[in-house]
A = this chain, B = another copy of it.
Amino acid sequence: NYPAAGSTSGRIFAPYSVYKGKAALSINPILPTFTKLESGGIKVDRRGVMMLKFWPAIGERKYDWEKRQLFALSATEMGSIISMGPQDSCELFHDPSMLSSNAGQVRKSLAIKPHADGSGYFFNLNVVNNILKTSERFTVPVTTAEFAVMKAACSFALPHIMGWDRYTTHPPRRTEGSPSRVDTQLLDLEWDK
């Protein structure tokens, strides 16, 4: 039905977006890719992420999509957000050039801080680009209700981003043979390195 990787067709556009006074913020999942092994199995190749996009307001209800900045949350970073209580804050740092010769040239930091009155959080993205000599800052206030949607959406997407839906949609192995020793089988698994 849908074309394979490498093509732009088949893409899904269903971000959850919030538009506020100074900037907009959207989130959408990006699933992992898989490699087929010679054994016939499959292995996660590129891990999935939850993509956050920030873009600035340039007038009343007008936003400049061309100026967007991205921040890709890993599974563990999604865990940080899912486990946040109402008074908690969280700060994450990315260097998109890490492990390359440009390491340290671009620094991104995402800070999520609770409103003083407990009515939600501020999402702040700071991007310092030493190559382009730019520094950008986005601030998006997120209400408790919007944050609840983000948490629920992250909780839903997390197993898929980890590739765990593959375990569960996999056709079951049926053993049609003799009756089995239920109690010891489970323990047997631990021997089977």
Contact = CB atoms under 8 A, between A and B. Distances in A.
Given A82-B148, A149-B78, A186-B74, A12 B170 contact: yes
B99 A31 contact: no
B82 A172 contact: no
A4 B175 CA distance: 9
B166 A108 contact: no
A83 interface: yes
A31 B172 contact: yes
A101 interface: no
A154 to B, nearest CB: 9
Contact of A9 (B12, B35, B40): B40
A14 B43 contact: yes
A187 B13 contact: no
* Dominant SS among interface residues on chain A: mixed
Given A4-B174, A45-B180, A172-B33, A152 B79 contact: yes
Contact of A174 (B10, B33, B176): B33
A174 B94 contact: no
B190 A96 contact: yes
Interface in A123-174: 143-149, 152-153, 155-160, 162-168, 170-174
A12 B167 contact: yes
Contact of A108 (B49, B176, B190): B190
15 contacts: A29-B168, A32-B172, A34-B175, A35-B174, A46-B180, A46-B185, A70-B191, A71-B190, A72-B189, A76-B145, A79-B144, A82-B148, A83-B144, A83-B148, A166-B172
